[in-house]
Structure 1
Amino acid sequence: MSGITKTFPGVKALKDVNLTVRRGEIHAICGENGAGKSTLMKVLSGVHPHGDYDGEILFEGRRCAFGGIRDSERAGIVIIHQELALSPQLSIAENIFLGNERARRGFIDWNRTNFEAGELMKRVGLRENPVTAVSDIGVGKQQLVEIAKALSKDVKLLILDEPTAALNDDDSAHLLDLLRGLRDDGITCVIISHKLNEVIAIADTVTILRDGQTIETLAAGEVTEERIIAGMVGRALDNRFPPHEPSIGEEVLRIEDWTVHSPSQPGRKVVDSATLTLRRGEIVGLAGLMGAGRTELAMSVFGRAYGTGISGRILKNGKQVELRSVEDAIRHGLAYATEDRKRYGLNLIDDIKRNISAAALKGVWVDEREEYRVAEGFHRSMNIKAPGVSSVVGKLSGGNQQKVVLSKWILTEPDVLILDEPTRGIDVGAKYEIYTIINRLAGEGRAVLVISSELPELLGLCDRIYTLSEGRITGELPRGEATQESLMHLMTKGTPR
């Protein structure tokens, strides 16, 4: 790709970008949110058709002018987007061959469909029955279905946009091993990822973009996290976390003997007799492995948004409160920013101002001038990178979407903010901004509970950390005593039944 320039209304997303990828390599593309990574790959894969951009694409020595995604797929280029394009009600086999059906005389040949799907599934290490519905398998396995779908199209160049963003450590490791195997089979891979440790572990070559421009391309031997970060943000991030001097006050929230049962399996406890406290001005972490019950605990406290058979007590400022709905929780000064901002945290087809005002609306009339004024204030104070508050939220980068989510909840004037994976899927520069906002919220006297799968994040951000295992609180460590090793020991601690 040479001289690629792509403009959206009011924004030049790509400015004269060059990219060279060698046959049979894994080539990583790194950059902050909004750097142009996904846009560049959408140009390559025909999502942005020829004529919508300036520049030239050469694939296997031939000049390409893709009019759409089917043209690029015919050439052997397949893209897997961060939001998986699967139909949950259809079977794995049906998804693999969707739009590429195995038919005979105008009818689908189901025997051939399921047999060939089974062969492709073996190749990607997926052991499910081909007739299993996609809705019945986890996100990690759904990612493998997407790769099997790509292999069914005789892929030569596979593009993966944030393939491990929603995966746990085991699924991520399996996916990276699979990509190494595809490379050994001669398939070229381009991977976009914010997980720099994974980039260093797997990439043969790394290209860094910043502000829609190519900064540099590095061979594997030249790659370090520090060099990638410096290229991405234009400066060295010697300290990944802003300085934080806590000023901790009195207890604001106490959760006592909190027990929650699964709504799908009522006899199973997903949170078991948990007790924890939050104080004003304090940032508290909650660490646990996948399935430990972190999100379930947070959502059940936030107006019983999750779970059945809930028991225990919640005390706010020393007085017991009943939070039986989300409205109750908001009224009593609690806020919960979900881990899945695109599905549950935002209305992606609406603008910034309406998303910010959504949780704080009262009554039936909206003062649109006041709504605009308030949104403009957050636009400035949160440094939301968008032309204005009428910009559609779905077109913002992940980091800026997260700032809109935080703005929405800050507007409700909470005493307690529960932030579930607040930096998931955003780059190191945007993470630093989110950490600064969290510090500022604590500095204003709010209590902040941070749930994160990244132990270095909890260690760098929090004043105190709880650990959760199998739904039970297994430990509590102040900042000075917490290490990755001590947290992992407590996170994997067996809990007697």
Structure 2
Amino acid sequence: MADYILEMKGICKYFSGVKALENVNFQVERGSIHALVGENGAGKSTLMNVLSGVYPHGTYDGDIVYEGEVCKFATIPDSEGKGIVIIHQELALIPDMTIGENMFLGNERGKKFNIDWNGTHHEATKHLKTVGLSESSQTYIRDIGVGKQQLVEIAKALAKDAKLLILDEPTSSLNETDSQALLELMLEFKKQGMTSIIISHKLNEVSYVADSITVLRDGQTIETMHKKDAAIDEDRIIRGMVGREIADRFPKRHDVKIGDVAMEVKNWTVHHPQMSDRKVVDGVSMHFKKGEVVGISGLMGAGRTEFAMSVFGHSYGQNISGDLTINGKSGHLKNVQAAIDAGLAYVTEDRKGNGLILSNAIRINTSLANLEGVSHHQVIDQILESRVAEEYRGKMKTKCHTTEQAIGSLSGGNQQKVLLAKWMFTDPDILILDEPTRGIDVGAKYEIYCIINEMVASGKTVIIISSELPEVLGMSDRIYVMNEGKIVGEFTQAEASQEKIMAAIIK
């Protein structure tokens, strides 16, 4: 008989009368890794928020049985007190505090008015060693990369004596090397007896690490698959998630017509915004043609985002130099509005920090980059604005109750769709997509890929910056590879492979 550390029985959750979870049943065996998968908006994060006390007992129906006991968590500390710790997709670390301070924030060592800093840093160092970090616990968070920050979050969970660790999209911001290291760490924790729940859209990772996989669709449990019963392939998971077959992850383009050069940069150099002597982009030259999808690949910190933002109206860096030509016209774009006027759009990788205003409605966010398009004599026409938002809601297949809904209430994937709609409404000639499918399910990815293909078929140019090599290889006509701020390789679609791209990076 299975030994379940957790059983969630008949869980129902509604928001303003709208169903988010309906009679969900979920069982997790002790000492296993259990994956929770589904499309954006399927209810995965909602279910975990019910479990962890984000949504307190009384706001949902059903029972949580943990360690054989019915639990009624009123707060997050209630669930953490039982050893249930959740690590959210958006890292909850304070950059200007040290690793040790972050790890024990709200869980301080010492007395009420006298923190034991020696004990804090001693404990922090012990847990950092467990997750494979050699950094001092007195290092500031801002001085370590995203991959190491994710490990700090796990060390922080260990400091709370986690028995059941929940990881929500833990590898969405990591490159392939860091992602693999994190998965191996989960497997090591499993050997030590820890139970983990992983929410992920990266099905290859799910298949690799999970003992069991539960599929949610439209707030309901579809099925649970166990690796011990039979091998679980990605196609079967996709069928459960989207309710249909997806024959090809990357839609084919027909009658590809690549035209003249739409944008070219020569000897583009950008210095760090705070450290003027440090080059983050060093003598980069690239060109992008009409009707072409160009991928920019490289490890985190290679200078890809810095390059894109500096081209897009000097929105990153200082002492920017080099030549920029758009549609035959040369000259720097001194601000974001100048870049938009020149037919350029940049979809940021940081949708919550720089891309969207989470407290505002979908309607308002959709028109933000093109207020002139919904205005008469500098007065916003809200009826027209609503019409535009509804049009893009349909085009993007965004799951929401109404375009008046606050965008912060949407799932990450649906937020990404609104962000893309915001920039599509500017009708750009050149669209730069920075990690466009991060944290998005396979069905939503396919829809975004189709939109990309439609854009280039109409003669527009799309530039994809992505840490997912299959995505770069599957969508690009040409690929540039960056490392340490420089171009280290260029491949046509026919020439490119994962091995060649990685070889260019490390040579």
Which bracket does the TM-score occupy, shorter chain normalised?
Answer: over 0.9
Q: What is the CA–CA distance in structure 2 between the aligned matches of 1:125 and 1:479, rounded to whole Å?
A: 37
In the superposition, relative to structure 1, how do residues 276 and 113 fare at CA in structure 2: closer, same or farther (>3 Å)?
closer
CA displacement 1:183-234 (0-9 Å, x = unmatched): 2222111111111122122111111111111111112243211211111111
Residue 439 of structure 2 corresponds to residue 422 of structure 1: no
2:174 corresponds to: 167
Quick one: which amino acid aligns to residue 500 of structure 2? S
Tell me by how many angstroms 1:105 deviates. 7.0
1:224 corresponds to: 233
Tell me by how many angstroms 1:393 deviates. 1.0
Range with greater deviation from structure 2 (304-313 or 88-97): 88-97
Quick one: which amino acid aligns to residue 116 of structure 2? D
Is the contact made by 2:40 and 2:412 (CA closer than 8 Å) also made in structure 1? yes
Q: What is the CA–CA distance in structure 1 between the aligned matches of 2:486 and 2:122, rounded to whole Å?
A: 44
Q: What is the CA–CA distance in structure 1 between the aligned matches of 2:352 and 2:51, rounded to whole Å?
A: 25
Quick one: which amino acid aligns to residue 139 of structure 2? T
Range with greater deviation from structure 2 (399-408 or 268-277): 268-277
Is the contact made by 2:176 and 2:467 (CA closer than 8 Å) also made in structure 1? no
Residue 296 of structure 2 corresponds to residue 286 of structure 1: yes
Q: What is the CA–CA distance in structure 1 between the aligned matches of 2:426 and 2:50, rounded to whole Å?
A: 41
User: What SS class does the counterpart of residue 164 from structure 1 fall into?
Assistant: coil
2:339 corresponds to: 329
Range with greater deviation from structure 2 (470-479 or 420-429): 470-479
Is the contact made by 2:35 and 2:213 (CA closer than 8 Å) also made in structure 1? yes
Task: Among all aligned residue pairs of Structure 1 and Structure 2, give the percentage whose two residues are the same amino acid.
Answer: 58
Structural mapping, 1:55-134, within 5 Å: 55-104=62-111, 106-134=113-141
Q: What is the CA–CA distance in structure 2 between the aligned matches of 1:275 and 1:90, rounded to whole Å?
A: 38
Quick one: which amino acid aligns to residue 135 of structure 1? R
Quick one: which amino acid aligns to residue 463 of structure 2? L
Is the contact made by 1:323 and 1:329 (CA closer than 8 Å) also made in structure 2? yes
Q: What is the CA–CA distance in structure 2 between the aligned matches of 1:88 and 1:291, rounded to whole Å?
A: 17
User: What SS class does the counterpart of residue 473 from structure 1 fall into?
Assistant: strand
Residue 399 of structure 2 corresponds to residue 389 of structure 1: no
Q: What is the CA–CA distance in structure 1 between the aligned matches of 2:382 and 2:202, rounded to whole Å?
A: 40
Q: What is the CA–CA distance in structure 1 between the aligned matches of 2:12 and 2:298, rounded to whole Å?
A: 44
User: What SS class does the counterpart of residue 179 from structure 2 fall into?
Assistant: helix
Range with greater deviation from structure 2 (323-332 or 124-133): 124-133
2:323 corresponds to: 313
| Residue from 476, 488, 493 that aligns with 1:479 | 493
Range with greater deviation from structure 2 (22-31 or 86-95): 86-95
Is the contact made by 1:287 and 1:491 (CA closer than 8 Å) also made in structure 2? no
Is the contact made by 1:28 and 1:190 (CA closer than 8 Å) also made in structure 2? yes
Unaligned 5+ segments in structure 1 are none
Q: What is the CA–CA distance in structure 1 between the aligned matches of 2:318 and 2:113, rounded to whole Å?
A: 49
Range with greater deviation from structure 2 (365-374 or 301-310): 365-374
| Residue from 166, 178, 185 that aligns with 2:185 | 178
Tell me by how many angstroms 1:317 deviates. 1.9
| Residue from 259, 273, 276 that aligns with 1:263 | 273
Tell me by how many angstroms 1:420 deviates. 0.9
2:420 corresponds to: 406
Q: What is the CA–CA distance in structure 1 between the aligned matches of 2:140 and 2:297, rounded to whole Å?
A: 32
Query: Number of aligned pairs?
Result: 493
In the superposition, relative to structure 1, how do residues 281 and 23 fare at CA in structure 2: closer, same or farther (>3 Å)?
same
After TM superposition, where is structure 1 displaced by more than 4 Å over at least 4 residues in a row?
A: none
Tell me by how many angstroms 1:107 deviates. 1.9
Quick one: which amino acid aligns to residue 103 of structure 1? G
2:24 corresponds to: 17
Residue 449 of structure 2 corresponds to residue 445 of structure 1: no
CA displacement 1:62-101 (0-9 Å, x = unmatched): 1111112122122221111112223333332222222222
Tell me by how many angstroms 1:106 deviates. 4.2
User: What SS class does the counterpart of residue 494 from structure 2 fall into?
Assistant: helix
1:30 corresponds to: 37
Residue 60 of structure 2 corresponds to residue 50 of structure 1: no
CA displacement 1:118-167 (0-9 Å, x = unmatched): 22222222222223333332222222222222222222111111111112
Tell me by how many angstroms 1:364 deviates. 4.8
Q: What is the CA–CA distance in structure 2 between the aligned matches of 1:149 and 1:320, rounded to whole Å?
A: 50
CA displacement 1:360-407 (0-9 Å, x = unmatched): 124853222222222222122222221221111111122221221121
Q: What is the CA–CA distance in structure 1 between the aligned matches of 2:271 and 2:215, rounded to whole Å?
A: 46
Range with greater deviation from structure 2 (143-152 or 1-10): 143-152
Tell me by how many angstroms 1:336 deviates. 0.5
Tell me by how many angstroms 1:173 deviates. 2.5
Q: What is the CA–CA distance in structure 2 between the aligned matches of 1:153 and 1:269, rounded to whole Å?
A: 40
CA displacement 1:313-348 (0-9 Å, x = unmatched): 111222213311111111111111111111111111
Q: What is the CA–CA distance in structure 2 between the aligned matches of 1:427 and 1:314, rounded to whole Å?
A: 36
Range with greater deviation from structure 2 (199-208 or 118-127): 118-127
Q: What is the CA–CA distance in structure 2 between the aligned matches of 1:41 and 1:244, rounded to whole Å?
A: 39
Q: What is the CA–CA distance in structure 2 between the aligned matches of 1:368 and 1:32, rounded to whole Å?
A: 31
Q: What is the CA–CA distance in structure 2 between the aligned matches of 1:130 and 1:254, rounded to whole Å?
A: 45
Quick one: which amino acid aligns to residue 241 of structure 2? M
Structural mapping, 1:227-376, within 5 Å: 227-245=236-254, 246-362=256-372, 364-376=378-390
Tell me by how many angstroms 1:309 deviates. 2.2
Q: What is the CA–CA distance in structure 1 between the aligned matches of 2:36 and 2:411, rounded to whole Å?
A: 16
Quick one: which amino acid aligns to residue 71 of structure 2? C
In the superposition, relative to structure 1, how do residues 441 and 105 fare at CA in structure 2: closer, same or farther (>3 Å)?
closer
Q: What is the CA–CA distance in structure 2 between the aligned matches of 1:179 and 1:45, rounded to whole Å?
A: 20
Tell me by how many angstroms 1:10 deviates. 4.5
Quick one: which amino acid aligns to residue 306 of structure 1? Y
Quick one: which amino acid aligns to residue 144 of structure 2? I
Quick one: which amino acid aligns to residue 350 of structure 1? N
1:459 corresponds to: 473
User: What SS class does the counterpart of residue 197 from structure 2 fall into?
Assistant: strand
Q: What is the CA–CA distance in structure 2 between the aligned matches of 1:483 and 1:118, rounded to whole Å?
A: 40
Aligned CA-pair RMSD: 1.9
User: What SS class does the counterpart of residue 406 from structure 1 fall into?
Assistant: helix
Q: What is the CA–CA distance in structure 1 between the aligned matches of 2:61 and 2:83, rounded to whole Å?
A: 22
In the superposition, relative to structure 1, how do residues 330 and 55 fare at CA in structure 2: closer, same or farther (>3 Å)?
same
Tell me by how many angstroms 1:53 deviates. 1.1
Q: What is the CA–CA distance in structure 2 between the aligned matches of 1:270 and 1:117, rounded to whole Å?
A: 32
